[in-house]
Amino acid sequence: MLAGGRVLVFPGLQRWRRLSLNVMTIKVHSPGVYTVQGVALKVTGVAQVKISTQHPDVLAVACEHFLNKKQEEIHALITATLEGHQRGIMGTMTVEDIYKNRALFNSRVFEVASKDLYALGIHGYLKALGMAQTAQVKRDARIGEAEAKKDSEIQKSLAAETLLAAQYINKTLVAKAKRDFELQKAAYDQEVKSREAEANLAYELQSCKTKQKIQEEKMEIKVTYDSGEEGKNPGGATGDPMHGKTSDVTEKQPAEAAKYKLGFFMLNGVSTSLSNTKSIKMVSSGDSPVGAQKLTQEVINITCCVPDMVKNMTGVDILKTLSVA
């Protein structure tokens, strides 16, 4: 066993084998490893190892394991050893410890793996464990953050646009409702004013009719009264042959005229009081008349109640007094 240098080999008597002592760079991949928190991680580490030549016994162990193996087989054996220990250490640490304290992670992995590597006659160290994966994660994080920020800005813009559109629609509906209310209110006000105007005109018309009727009654009473006065002239004493036959009628005419005159004064007093009234509201009950017809009937009813009121207040029966007269 010779580490470096030259040696003479006798063919047929001796055999020789070559074992590379160069440094080997091995990538250790650990996909889907769960941390102590149950978070799955994918970590890639880089290890540099070589067969030890410092101690002859260690070199002998390495020759025993690797002398008849190809370089790919040596790489596979070392990779499997490192990957198993790397997965075991990841299961005992948190995501923050692995990411923020990579030196601690490297030392712990190498501390555990170095014993097995030494048993194979190999020594070395872990270099930039997880740096490639960390850089990739950072890159993906920055890309994801940019995408998330872009989506957030888009969503905010869409939300603001939707809110503004909803506000405009709400204002439009409020304005439309206000317009409809004002139009309906104007229509109702116009209808109320029209009804009030009709009622006022009807009242004025009926008032004029009542005054006209009272005036006609007044003229009739005056004519009747004048006829009664003429019945008292001396014509009866001239020997008129019809005087005796018409004496009863002539005597009754003043009394009838007094009745008409009294009725006129009562109607005139009631109608004058009503004519000074600004407005009158009448409520119909059942099939009773309303409007002008009811107003006329009310005036007549009030006038008919006057004799009873006078009798109750003074004890004088006006109708009986007129009948006696």
Q: C-alpha distances in angstroms, 299 versus 172, 184, 257?
A: 57, 39, 21
Main-chain phi, psi angles of 283, to 5 degrees: -115, 130
Long-range pairs for 277-286 at CB < 8 Å and ≥24 separation?
279/199, 279/200, 279/203, 280/203
Q: How far apart are CA 196 and CA 185, in angstroms?
A: 16
Contact 24, 78 (CB under 8 A): yes
User: Is there a domain that residue 169 lies in?
Assistant: no
Tell me, yes or no, whether 45 lies in a domain: yes
Span 132-150, pLDDT tens digits: 455 565 677 678 778 888 8
CA dihedral 224, 225, 227, 230 (to 10 degrees): 180
**Do 28 and 122 belong to one domain?**
yes
Domain that includes residue 102, residue range: 24-129
Q: Residue 222: which of 246, 193, 258, 190 has the closest Cα?
A: 258
pLDDT recorded at residue 122: 67
Sheet holding 122-127, edge to edge: 24-34, 40-51, 122-127
**Is 158 within a domain?**
no
Q: What is the pLDDT of residues 166-196, one digit of tens each?
A: 999 999 999 999 999 999 888 888 888 888 8
pLDDT tens profile 232-247: 555 444 444 444 444 4
In sequence order, which ranges of the chain are alpha helices (DSSP H)? 56-66, 71-90, 95-100, 102-119, 131-230, 243-275, 292-314, 318-324
DSSP state string for 99-130: HH-HHHHHHHHHHHHHHHHHHTTEEEEEESTT
Sign of CA dihedral 247, 251, 257, 259: negative
Domain boundary among 129, 144, 179: 129
Its pTM stands at 0.35
90, 106, 129 - which closes a domain: 129
Whole-number Å distance between alpha carbons of 20 and 117: 16
CA distance linking residue 292 with residue 256, whole number of Å? 30
- Identify the sign of the CA torsion 47, 48, 51, 52: negative
pLDDT of residue 325: 47
Is residue 203 a contact partner of residue 291, using CB atoms and an 8 Å limit? no
- Helix H segments across 231-317? 243-275, 292-314
**Would you state the pLDDT for residue 239?**
45
Ramachandran region, residue 32 (left: φ > 0; alpha: ψ -120 to 50; beta: rest) = left
Instruction: Please choose, from the candidates 95, 77, 83, the residue with its C-alpha nearest in 3D space to the C-alpha of residue 28.
Output: 83
For the stretch 259-290, pLDDT in tens is: 666 666 666 666 666 666 666 666 655 555 55
Asked whether residue 181 is assigned to any structural domain, the reply reads no
> Does residue 196 belong to any structural domain of this protein?
no
Q: Which pair of tokens denotes residue 11?
A: 């063919």
CB distance 311 to 318 below 8 Å: yes
Q: Which two tokens stand for residue 148?
A: 């998330």
For residue 112, give the CATH number of its domain.
Answer: 3.30.479.30
Q: What are the φ/ψ torsions at residue 239 (nearest 5 degrees)?
A: 90, 25
Instruction: Tell me whether residue 164 is in a domain.
Output: no
- Sequence-distant (6+) residues with CB within 8 A of 17 are 67, 68
Tell whether 4 is covered by a domain.
no
Q: Which of 129, 159, 179 represents a domain boundary (last residue)?
A: 129
pLDDT of residue 237: 43
- The verdict on residue 61 lying in a domain is yes
Q: How many domains are there within the chain?
A: 2
Contact 143, 134 (CB under 8 A): no
Over the stretch 93-133, which tens digit does the pLDDT of each residue have? 887 777 777 777 777 777 777 777 777 666 655 544 445 45
For residues 124 and 211, membership in a common domain is answered with: no
pLDDT band at 309; cut points 50, 70, 90: confident
Q: Which helix (H) or strand (E) holds 42?
A: strand 40-51
